[in-house]
Structure 1
Amino acid sequence: MASAAEQLAANLNFAAFAKATDLQKRIWFTIIALVVYRIGTFIPIPGVDPAAFAQAFQQQAGGILGMFNTFSGGAVERMAVFALNVMPYISASIIVQLMATSVPSLERLKKEGEAGRKQLNQYTRYLTLVLALGQSYGIAMGLQASQGVVTNPGLFFVASTVITLTGGTMFLMWLGEQVTARGVGNGISLIIFTGIISDLPRIMFQSLALAREGQLNPFGIVVVAVVMLAAIVFIVFIERSQRRLVVQYPKRQQGNRMFMGESSFLPLKINTAGVIPPIFASSLLLLPSTIIQFAGMGTNVPEWLAMVQGQIGYGKPGHLALYGLGIIFFCFFYTSIVFNPEETADNLRKYGGFLPGRRPGKQTAEYLDFVLTRLTVLGAAYITIVCLLPEVLISAYSIPFYLGGTSVMIVISVTLDTVAQIQSHLVAHQYEGLIKRSKLRGSGAPKR
C-alpha cells in the first residue's frame, strides 16, 4: 500500500506547482545563477591568442582536456575565466572525505553533526583554493611553453592567469553553494550538468559537419547515437534500482497506550559510488600524458616514457584495461567511505530497529557488508560497461571529440536528483496546505 507521501506525489500537477510560490522563486534563482555561469564561460583570460590556442587544443581534444572541456561547457576550449570549473572543489571534497576516515581529528568532526560538517566544509574551501592555485599555475606555465599561444609571456601573464582562473573557481564554488541553499538541488552538480548539456549541440553539429565532409563514417555516428540512447535507458534503470532491506521496530508503550511494531525499508543503491570512480580513474590515466603534450614537451619525451604513452595512450587497449580496473577499484574504495555498515547497524540498534533474522550489532553489520559487497560488484560492472563502451566506439570510429559515458551518467543522475528535489518541495507544499486547512476546520468547529 502506498504511503501518504507517495499518494500526494502521485496527485501532483501544474495547479499545485502554480501555488508553490517558494518553489518558483527557487527555480528562477537557479536559472539566473546558471545563466551567470554560462556568461563566464565565454569571457577569455587576458594575454592568450584565441586562434593559436584553438589550434593547440584540437591536437588533444580527445584526451583529458576534451573531458574537462565537456564538463566546463567549452570554457577550456575558449580558455575562459571558468576554465578550471569546479574540478578543484570536487577534488578537495573527495580528499577531505578520504581524510575524514583516516585522520582522528577530522573523524571526530564528522561525528559532531552540523557544527562538524560546517568545519569540514571550511577545510574543503581552503583546500579548493590551494588546488586551484596549483592547477592555474600549471596551466599558465603550459600556455607559455606552447609556441605562439601567449601574446606577451612573462611574470605578469602568469600572475594574471593564476588570479583569474583561481578567482573563477572560487566564484563558482560560492555560486554552487548559493544554488544549494536558495535554489533547487545540488548547485555544484547543476553547474557541471549545465556545462555538459550546453556542449551537446556543438558536438552534434560538429559530428554532422564532419560526416558531410567525409571525415567521419556516418554509420559510426549512428552506432554511437544508438549506444548512447541504450545507455540512457540502462543508466536510468540502474540508478532507480534499490535493494530494500526490511527494518522492523518492536512494540512500544507510551503512557497508557501501546503502539504496534512498525516496519520500514533501508534502501541500498546498486551504484553507491556515483560518478566518482570514472572521473578519478580517467584523471589518473590521462593527466600525465596530457600535461606533457600541453606543456610543449612532446618532442623531448624520453624513449621509455614515449613507449609507455604508446601502450596506455588514449583509446589504446592498455588504456581501456587500466581504465576499467581503475573504475572497479574506486567503486569499492569510495563505497567503503560513503557507507559504513558498522555505523549503520549501530544507528539501527540505538533507535530499536533490527533486520528480521539478524541480531542487532555485529551480525547486522556483517550482513549489511555482505549485501553491499555484492551490490558494489554489480555497480562496478555497470559503470565499467557504460564508460568503456563509448570509449571503444570513439576510438574505433576516430571521433575527434569527447563524448563519454561519464558525461551521460552525470546528466542523468543530476536530472533524477533535481526532479526528486522539485517533487519533495511540491509534496512539502501539499502537506502545508493540508495542515492549514485542518487548522481552519478545527478553529471553526462549534464549541460545546
Structure 2
Amino acid sequence: MKRFIDTIKNIFSIEELRTRILNTLLFITVFRLGSFVVLPGVEPDLMAVSTGGLLGLLDTFLGGAFSKASIFALGIMPYISASIAIQLLTMAMPYFQKMQKEGESGRKKLNQITRVLTIVVTFAQGLTYLTTTVPDEALLVPRSIFTVSSIFILISGTMFCMWLGERITDKGVGNGISMLIMIGIVSRFPGSIYQEFASRGSGGILIFVLELVALYFVIMAAVMLTQAVRRVPIQYAKQVVGNRAVGLGQRQYLPLKVNAAGVMPIIFAQALMFLPTAVFGAFAEDSDFAANAATVFADFTSWQYSLLYALLIIVFTFFYTAISVNPQQIADDMKRGGGFVPGVKPGQQTSDYISTILDRITFPGSIMLAVVAILPAFAAILGMTTSFAQFFGGTSLLIMVGVVLDTLQQVESYLLMRRYEGLMKSGRIKGRAESLAV
C-alpha cells in the first residue's frame, strides 16, 4: 500500500503529468454532463429504447445518453464508423493508400475526409434515430420541427464529442476517443453492482461476493488476451558507414499479438446479430418455424444465438487480422532495414513465415475472443442481472481493459522519464500501443 501511495505522489509531483490528468478529468466531466442534457421537445421518461441487441450496445457505449435522447445521443459512434470506413478504403483503394504514404500532409487530408464523412454518417444515423427510437408520445412539439432542429443538434453534439476526444489526446492522458467510450461504459458499472446486490437480498451476500471474485478472474483473463504476443526474433546485420561499423548485429523481436483484431470482430458480429431476428420475423406470421427462430435469436442467452455469435467472431477475427496486419509489408520493411529472421531467407519466405505464425496464433486467439464475448450469456443464465452480466465479457470488458492498459502505459512512460519507479514492480507495462520492432 505504501508503494502505491508513493507512486501516486510521484505522479502528481510531475507538473506536466498532473496538468494532463486534471485536463482529462475536466473534459470527461463536460462529456458526462452533456449526456444528461435532453434534446429540446422530448419527454425522456416516455422514451422506450430497447435494452438488447445493437441498440442496447450503443446505449452501453454512450453511458445511457442514447436512451435518454440526449444531445450526445450518438456520441462519437458516427466518428468511429467513419474512421473504420476510411481505414478499409485505405487498405482497398490505391488513392487512399497513396495519401496514407504522404506523411503528415496525407494524414491531415485523411483526417479532413474522416470529419466530413462523420457529418454525413451523423446525419444518416441521427435521422434514423429520431424517426425509429423517439416515439410520438414522447414529443412535446410537432414531429417535423423536432426532426429538423434535432438533426443539427445531434451533428453538433457528435462534432463536440470528437473535439473533446482530440483534446484529451493532445492535452490529457490516453487516447481520447477510446477514453470517452470507456467512460460511457464505466458510468453504468456502479449502478449495475447495486442492482445485482439488491437482487440477491440479504441472504445472497456470499453469492454476490463469489460473483465479484469471478469477475476479477474474468478481467485477468481479458488482460492476458489483450497483452499476449508471439515474439519473432529479428537479427540486424552489421552495417559499415564510412570507416565505422554500426548496428552491432543486435537482436530484437517482432511482437505479433494473439488478438491483433482487438474488439472489432465483436462489434462487427454484434452488428449482424439482429439480421436473423429481422429475417425470420418477416415470415413469422406464415411459418411457425420462422416465429420460433425469431424468438430464439432474439434471446442472447440461447445456445443458437451464442453459437452463431461465436462463429461470426472467429470469422471476423481472421478477416480483420488479414486486413490490419500485412506480412508482405513487414517483410519488405525488415529487408530494407537490414533485418532478417534467423534461419529464414529475407523477402517472400519471411512473409510466408510471418503469415504462418499469424494463422497459428489467430485461431486460438479468435476462440478465446469468442469465449469472452459469450461469457455474459452464461452469467445471465446463472441468474445475474442483465446489466451486471454485460461486464463479464464482450465489447465492454475488452474496451475497458484496453483503454486502462494504454493509459497506464502513458503514465508509466512519464514516470520512467523522471526516473521514478513505475506502477508495476515487475517493470514496464506492455500496452497495446507497443510498436513493431521494424
- TM-score interval for Structure 1 and Structure 2 normalised by the shorter chain: 0.7 to 0.9
Q: Deviations over 1:287-340 (max 9, x none)?
A: 7969x9xxxxx9998656755522321313332122111111111111112210
- Show the counterpart of 1:444: none
The 1:140–1:230 alpha-carbon spacing in structure 2 relative to 1, beyond 3 Å, is same
Following superposition of structure 1 onto structure 2, how do residues 44-443 of structure 1 map, counting pairs within 5 Å? 44-53=38-47, 56-57=48-49, 60-144=50-134, 146-212=135-201, 224-259=211-246, 260-286=248-274, 303=286, 306-315=291-300, 316-395=302-381, 397=383, 399-401=385-387, 403-404=390-391, 405=393, 406-430=395-419
Please state how far the C-alpha of 1:151 moved relative to its aligned partner: 2.5
Structure 1 runs not aligned, ≥5 long: 1-11, 293-297, 432-448
Are 1:42 and 2:70 matched, yes or no? Answer: no
Answer whether contact 1:63 1:314 (CA < 8 A) is retained: no
Please state how far the C-alpha of 1:381 moved relative to its aligned partner: 1.0
Answer whether contact 2:276 2:297 (CA < 8 A) is retained: no
- Counterpart residue identity of residue 245, structure 1: V
The 1:287–1:159 alpha-carbon spacing in structure 2 relative to 1, beyond 3 Å, is farther
Answer whether contact 1:342 1:365 (CA < 8 A) is retained: yes
The 1:364–1:319 alpha-carbon spacing in structure 2 relative to 1, beyond 3 Å, is same
Answer whether contact 2:196 2:384 (CA < 8 A) is retained: no
Answer whether contact 1:248 1:354 (CA < 8 A) is retained: yes
Answer whether contact 1:76 1:83 (CA < 8 A) is retained: yes
Q: Deviations over 1:188-210 (max 9, x none)?
A: 00001111111101111122233
Answer whether contact 1:248 1:355 (CA < 8 A) is retained: yes
- Show the counterpart of 2:427: none
- Show the counterpart of 1:4: none
- Show the counterpart of 1:440: none
Indicate the larger mover: 15-24 or 238-247: 15-24
Q: Deviations over 1:10-40 (max 9, x none)?
A: xx95565345322222211111111110111
Distance in 1 of aligned mates of 2:215 and 2:152: 39
- Show the counterpart of 2:26: 32
Query: Which structure is higher in RCO with an 8 Å CA cutoff and minimum separation 6?
Result: 1
Indicate the larger mover: 217-226 or 239-248: 217-226
- Show the counterpart of 1:435: none
Answer whether contact 1:224 1:393 (CA < 8 A) is retained: no
Please state how far the C-alpha of 1:223 moved relative to its aligned partner: 6.4
Structure 2 runs not aligned, ≥5 long: 1-5, 421-438
Please state how far the C-alpha of 1:430 moved relative to its aligned partner: 4.5
Distance in 1 of aligned mates of 2:277 and 2:176: 31
State percent identity of aligned pairs: 38
- Aligned partner of residue 369 in structure 2, secondary structure: helix
User: TM-score normalised to the size of structure 1?
Assistant: 0.83
Indicate the larger mover: 189-198 or 107-116: 107-116
Distance in 1 of aligned mates of 2:276 and 2:73: 19
Answer whether contact 2:195 2:385 (CA < 8 A) is retained: no
The 1:94–1:288 alpha-carbon spacing in structure 2 relative to 1, beyond 3 Å, is farther
The 1:387–1:429 alpha-carbon spacing in structure 2 relative to 1, beyond 3 Å, is same
Distance in 2 of aligned mates of 1:287 and 1:138: 17
- Aligned partner of residue 187 in structure 2, secondary structure: helix
Q: Deviations over 1:210-247 (max 9, x none)?
A: 33399xx8888666544422210111122222211111
User: TM-score normalised to the size of structure 2?
Assistant: 0.85
RMSD: 2.8
- Aligned partner of residue 61 in structure 1, secondary structure: coil
Q: Deviations over 1:240-285 (max 9, x none)?
A: 2221111111112233333421111111111111111111111221
Answer whether contact 1:220 1:397 (CA < 8 A) is retained: no
Q: Deviations over 1:358-404 (max 9, x none)?
A: 11110000011111111111211111111102123225537343615
Distance in 2 of aligned mates of 1:69 and 1:226: 27
The 1:234–1:378 alpha-carbon spacing in structure 2 relative to 1, beyond 3 Å, is same
Distance in 1 of aligned mates of 2:386 and 2:219: 22
Distance in 1 of aligned mates of 2:81 and 2:417: 34
- Aligned partner of residue 254 in structure 2, secondary structure: strand
The 1:157–1:289 alpha-carbon spacing in structure 2 relative to 1, beyond 3 Å, is farther
Answer whether contact 2:232 2:341 (CA < 8 A) is retained: yes
- Counterpart residue identity of residue 309, structure 1: A
Aligned length: 407
- Show the counterpart of 2:436: none
Distance in 1 of aligned mates of 2:330 and 2:19: 36
Indicate the larger mover: 419-428 or 29-38: 419-428
Indicate the larger mover: 364-373 or 247-256: 247-256
The 1:219–1:159 alpha-carbon spacing in structure 2 relative to 1, beyond 3 Å, is farther
Q: Which has the larger radius of gyration?
A: 1
- Aligned partner of residue 73 in structure 2, secondary structure: coil
